[in-house]
């Protein structure tokens, strides 16, 4: 009995410690409380002629059933080059190549016309081939943690794309053509080298989540205010010195992080954010008085200035 009494608080302490550690790790780029993971839920895929739900993790096995293979996962297989045999799988709707050592993608990847999910996270890609624009059925494109420096203009043809994740890369700019992705709901561009956001982002009227954290932005384009369906906005750790007035028009905004920006004042227009649930202002230049005023504007929201983020 005494052993149980001693062990119980120790177990509780250890649990709280690791929970807190995991919490900080998950929310390093994203905002705590409403982005529990760095990957959003996979959207419902379109119905196709492919009825085989088996997920293959061996290319040879997949090629044996070349006419019925729909899903292939070759993650963690030490691949240094893209196996071109994959392009023989003409009915493929899901392809995962995470955690390999791929440095480039061949033009032939554009032959996978039925592909709806493509994830190539944690590789060594430096670019994307123009043929990526041939994947017109694509709904999810996740390229986190590569070395990609530029997005090809042909991305404009991905009209069905809902989730685009290119965080932890080496992007210095975004093409205007990104404004053609009108089905996009989730956009993750954190931890790059972006200094501006193209005004064409205003065309993405279905966006609900945007992360531009850990970049070099000094402002948002005036057209950003047109993203009225936006619910989550993370622009922490940039170089924004003036509170973006554009945010004030985002009538559905619930959660926003402006932490680690040299913001010293706020516009009275922020009172328009009637649905706001949390605003994170850690390490800004806002005075204590300004913080208290913001708390009065949003009495039912979390106004955080702690380092918990």
pLDDT tens profile 29-42? 333 333 433 445 55
At 283, is the secondary structure helix, strand, or coil? coil
Is residue 216 one of the residues assigned to a domain? no
Place of tokens 């065309």: 203
Q: Which domain holds residue 127?
A: 50-173
Number of structural domains the chain divides into: 1
Q: Are 35 and 28 in contact (CB under 8 A)?
A: no
At 44, the pLDDT band (50, 70, 90 cuts) reads low
Q: At 141, is the secondary structure helix, strand, or coil?
A: strand
Q: Is residue 107 part of a domain?
A: yes
Full-prediction pTM beyond 0.75? Answer: yes
Band (pLDDT 50/70/90 cuts) for residue 49 is: low
Is 248 among the domain residues?
no
Choose between 43 and 110: higher pLDDT: 110
CB contact at 8 A, 169 and 192: yes
Determine, yes or no, domain membership for 33: no
Residue 53 in tokens: 């739900």
Does 95 map to a domain? yes
Indicate whether 160 belongs to any domain.
yes
In whole angstroms, what separates CA 210 from the centre of its chain?
7
Evaluate whether residue 93 is within a structural domain: yes
Domain assignment present for residue 204? The answer is no
32 vs 45, more confident: 45
3-class secondary-structure state, position 293: helix
Q: What is the pLDDT of residue 45?
A: 59
Q: What is the pLDDT at residue 26?
A: 30
CATH number (domain holding residue 124): 3.80.10.10
């Amino acid at each position: 009995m005494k052993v149980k009494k001693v062990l119980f608080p120790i177990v509780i302490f250890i649990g709280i410690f690791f929970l807190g550690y995991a919490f900080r790790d998950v929310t390093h780029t994203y905002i705590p409380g409403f982005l529990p993971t760095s990957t959003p839920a996979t959207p419902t895929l379109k119905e196709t002629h492919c009825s085989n739900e088996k997920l293959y993790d061996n290319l040879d096995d997949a090629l044996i059933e070349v006419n019925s293979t729909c899903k292939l996962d070759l993650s963690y297989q030490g691949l240094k080059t893209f196996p071109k045999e994959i392009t023989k799988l003409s009915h493929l709707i899901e392809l995962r190549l995470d955690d390999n050592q791929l440095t480039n993608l061949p033009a032939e990847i554009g032959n996978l016309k039925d592909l709806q999910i493509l994830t190539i996270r944690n590789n060594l890609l430096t670019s994307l081939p123009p043929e990526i624009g041939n994947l017109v059925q694509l709904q999810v494109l996740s390229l986190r943690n590569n070395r990609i420096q530029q997005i090809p203009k042909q991305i404009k043809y991905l009209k069905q794309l809902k989730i685009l994740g290119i965080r932890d890369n080496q992007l210095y700019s975004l093409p205007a053509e990104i404004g053609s992705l009108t089905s996009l709901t989730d956009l993750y561009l954190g931890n790059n080298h972006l200094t501006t956001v193209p005004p064409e982002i205003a065309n993405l009227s279905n966006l609900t989540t945007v992360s531009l954290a850990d970049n070099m932005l000094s402002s948002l384009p005036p057209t950003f205010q047109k993203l009225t369906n936006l619910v989550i906005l993370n622009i922490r750790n940039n170089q924004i010195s003036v509170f973006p007035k554009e945010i004030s028009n985002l009538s559905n905004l619930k959660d926003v992080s402006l932490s680690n920006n040299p913001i010293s004042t706020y516009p009275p227009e922020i009172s328009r954010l009637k649905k706001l649930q949390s605003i994170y202002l850690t390490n800004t230049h806002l005075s204590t008085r300004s913080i208290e005023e913001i708390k009065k504007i949003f009495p039912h929201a979390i106004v955080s200035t702690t380092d918990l983020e």
